Amino acid sequence: MTDRTTPARVATLGDRIRRLRLALGLTQNELAARGSIAAGTISMIENGLQEPDASALRALAEVLDCTPEYLQAVHAPAFDKPKLRAYADASQRAVDRTLFDSIAAVEAIHTAGLRPLELRLPVYDGDLSDGEGIDRIAADVRTAAGLRSNDVIPNVIRAAERLGCVVLPLDGELGRHWGMSLTVDGLPVIRVTRPSHDPEFDIPGDRQRFTVAHELGHLVLHAHLGQPAAPAEAAAMEREANRFAAAFLVPGDAALNDLRDAGGRVTLGTLGTLKQKWGYSIKAFVFRFKELGVIDDAQARSLYKQISARRWNKDEPFRPGTENAVWFAKALEERFGHPRSAEQLATTAGLGVRYVERWLNWEPSGTEREIALVTALTTRVKKPSPSSETSARISRLPRRAE
Amino acid sequence: MVALSSHLVELLSNVAGDVREVFEAEQWSVAAAVELNAAFTDTNHPRASMTRAIIAREFLASAHRNGLSDHPAQGGAVELYEQNGEGMDMAMIRLRGAKDVDGDLRVLANAGSTWGGLSEDGFWREIPYVFAWYLDEAGALQFVVAESVGKTAGSMPYFEFGWMHRFTSLAPSSTQGFVPDNTDSLGDWDARHQSDASAQA
């Protein structure tokens, strides 16, 4: 132990090691094995009960892909846990990885002194029992994002950035969740899945837009709340965020006007046309028109059945394009003179460059699958039986006497 | 084999589109109605009958909107009666439910089926057609108009068809999805970024 340490400093060091380990998705045992340190020692260090000596600190920094100075920094960012229904649908490890990776990103942004976005995101802490109230809040947020009340949002990620959110890509590791949001040191962060060459992990543009709007909903409506304590509370928060997303993306009056202009009947054909205009999925439109009282439960069920029968649950027609964030790359360019200054940011922040590349990469994940070549196989010619083999003979059994 | 004129086919195509749209919007009411009493699901008749009622009502309404005339037919059948082309043929186009069996259209012939001949005044040759509807595997309503030329033998005879035209679902005017605007700016942040850059220059 060095003689300058205090318990608080040791605790912060342990906490920073734990956070970076979780950001890399490592268990204590895995970190211990890679750093050739006893697993029990890792636990002691992370809990602030033991300070690593210089060689252990270097070994940990190497495994965690950072400088020892990064681990020794005294800053402990304040953050809230994401309002995910979470831990039921994605593993704790996957959620923690995204959570602590996001915290590392915000810390790097602050350390590098990137010029921040102006924070315009309103935070609401009133009663949310009224759906129309959420619609009004969504209208206010549209205004704050510089959008006119009934216009199609040209780029939802860009709108979130104008509101002051840092939007970072996600690789689909959260299972059924396409996104996550949290606040780190007062900065709202949204993670959203980037496209993928693998159809299993690819995200359609309408889903990506809805996810960003849904996470905005959590940031606006639930910033003052803790994590949901019970499944019912989590479900209510999800409903509220969904309602916000719907009203933010497709304001009620605009939806009703467009439906009237399209003939007034809620059919899959009409909804397809609306989807082309709004970048909002057909299935979500069914829900939206039910919410707006245009159709009832029975009509919505019928439309869902039609969607299912057409196999549109998995793949709807009129697939919109995906979006990407631009602030991070622009701020890097402003600070370091080049939009892909990942290495400069990494050096300044004391982190490995792979962290920064992950925060900047909006290209489709995975590799493009090559079309498999089909080779015609020749018919196997049956070889004649060796002479030693004899054909089976069937002998007639003698009749049993009555 | 007598084909319908392209004009009539076009009008019937409009009718098919209208009926398809109304059916998509209204079919929920059939599901809701049969749920009202368990007896309504003992057989498929109530569902089929209500489905036919929705289709028949819009078929006639749309036919009238498109300037087509209907004609009183035996047993409450819904039938259009229109001159086919410039000649002396009248098309009797009857609305019927059908089944698509591996691409083969099956419409039951019955005692009320019409087989054409001369009109009562003897001036016109009357040629029977069916405007048949069926639900495909995806539950979407499909339409065919076909000339009835005879029926199969057996206790459950089906129509034999001559000329036939299938009305495919109307393709959307464009298959293009929404394209996000990637030039959308960051507002004030961009404005300052640009002014700083120009000041440095």
Name the strand (E) or helix (H) holding A187. Answer: strand A187-193
pLDDT tens string A197-255: 988 888 999 999 999 999 999 999 998 887 787 888 888 888 999 999 999 999 999 99
pLDDT at residue A288 tops 90: yes
Bridge partner list, B145: B131, B165
Q: Do A279 and B186 touch (CB under 8 A)?
A: no
Q: Does A162 touch chain B (CB under 8 A)?
A: yes
The encoded tokens of residue B14 equal 């409009």
> Is the CA virtual torsion A75, A80, A82, A87 positive or negative?
positive
- B30: which residues sit within 8 A by CB, 6+ positions away? B47, B50, B51, B54
Residues 298-317 of A with CB under 8 A from B: 298-303, 305-306, 309-311, 317
Contact B31, A301 (CB under 8 A): yes
Shortest Cα distance, chain B CAs vs residue A162, angstroms:
5
Higher-pLDDT residue of A189, A1 = A189
pLDDT at residue B109 tops 90: no
Q: Do B189 and A117 touch (CB under 8 A)?
A: yes
pLDDT at residue B148 tops 80: yes
pLDDT tens string B110-119: 877 777 777 7
Pick from A94, A73, A102: which is nearest to A12 by CA? A73
- A118: which residues sit within 8 A by CB, 6+ positions away? A164, B188, B189
Highest mean pLDDT among A94-98, A242-246, A384-388, A393-397: A242-246
pLDDT at residue A2 tops 50: no
Residue A388 pLDDT grade (very low, low, confident, very high; cuts 50, 70, 90): very low
> Measured between alpha carbons, how far is B57 from A209 in angstroms, rounded to an integer?
41
Region A32-57: mean pLDDT is: 92
For B200, which residue in chain A has the nearest alpha carbon? A334
Region B150-175: mean pLDDT is: 82
Contacts A–B by Cβ distance under 8 A? 120
pLDDT at residue B6 tops 80: yes
Cα–Cα separations (whole angstroms), residue A219 to A50, A53, A80, A164, B79: 37, 41, 11, 11, 61
- Overall size of chain A counted in residues: 402
Query: For the residues of chain B, what is the DSSP string, one character each?
Result: --PPPHHHHHHHHHHHHHHHHHHHHHTHHHHHHHTT-GGGGSSSHHHHHHHHHHHHHHHHHHHHHTT--B---GGG--EEEEE-TTSSEEEEEEEEE-EEETTEEE-B--TT----EE-TTSS-EEEEEEEEEEE-TTS-EEEEEEEEEEE-SSSS-BEEEEEEEEEPPPPPS--------TT---THHHHHHHHHHHHH-
Instruction: State residue B168's pLDDT score.
Output: 78
Count Cβ atoms within 10 A of the Cβ of residue A322 and give its class: 0-12 exposed, 13-18 middle, 19 or more buried.
Answer: buried
For B141, which residue in chain A has the nearest alpha carbon? A306
| Side-chain-facing half-sphere of A360: CA atoms under 13 Å | 21
Bridge partner list, A180: A191
> Measured between alpha carbons, how far is A179 from A216 in angstroms, rounded to an integer?
11
For A306, which residue in chain B has the nearest alpha carbon? B139
The encoded tokens of residue A229 equal 């304590």
Instruction: State residue B199's pLDDT score.
Output: 66
Region A377-400: mean pLDDT is: 52
Higher-pLDDT residue of A394, A250 = A250
- A84: which residues sit within 8 A by CB, 6+ positions away? A90, A95, A174, A177, A180
pLDDT at residue B105 tops 80: yes
Q: Does A118 touch chain B (CB under 8 A)?
A: yes
> Measured between alpha carbons, how far is A88 from A85 in angstroms, rounded to an integer?
6
Instruction: State residue A134's pLDDT score.
Output: 92
Residue B197 pLDDT grade (very low, low, confident, very high; cuts 50, 70, 90): low
> Measured between alpha carbons, how far is A383 from B110 in angstroms, rounded to an integer?
61
Instruction: State residue B78's pLDDT score.
Output: 92
Pick from A12, A40, A16: which is nearest to A28 by CA? A40
> Which among B29, B31, B186 has CB closest to A117?
B186
Instruction: State residue A379's pLDDT score.
Output: 58
> Measured between alpha carbons, how far is A186 from A219 in angstroms, rounded to an integer?
11
DSSP character at residue A287: H
Shortest Cα distance, chain B CAs vs residue A285, angstroms:
14
> Measured between alpha carbons, how far is A102 from A108 in angstroms, rounded to an integer?
10
Three-state DSSP at A91 gives: coil
pLDDT at residue A355 tops 90: yes
Within A163-295, residue ranges assigned H as helices are 205-221, 231-249, 252-261, 268-278, 282-291
Interface with A, mutate which of B51, B174, B182, B192 (most A CBs under 10 A): B182
DSSP character at residue A36: T
Contact B47, B100 (CB under 8 A): no
pLDDT tens string A151-197: 999 999 999 999 999 999 998 767 677 899 999 999 999 999 999 99
pLDDT at residue A391 tops 60: no
Residue A3 pLDDT grade (very low, low, confident, very high; cuts 50, 70, 90): very low
Higher-pLDDT residue of B120, A28 = A28
Query: For the residues of A115-159, what is the DSSP string, one character each?
Result: PPPP-------S----HHHHHHHHHHHHHHTT--TTS--S-HHHH
Alpha carbon distance, N-terminus to C-terminus of chain B: 81
DSSP character at residue A330: H
pLDDT at residue B86 tops 90: no
Residue A86 pLDDT grade (very low, low, confident, very high; cuts 50, 70, 90): very low
pLDDT tens string A116-148: 999 999 988 777 777 778 999 999 999 999 999
> Measured between alpha carbons, how far is A25 from A42 in angstroms, rounded to an integer?
15
pLDDT tens string A370-384: 656 666 666 565 555
Shortest Cα distance, chain A CAs vs residue B138, angstroms:
5
> Measured between alpha carbons, how far is B199 from B197 in angstroms, rounded to an integer?
5
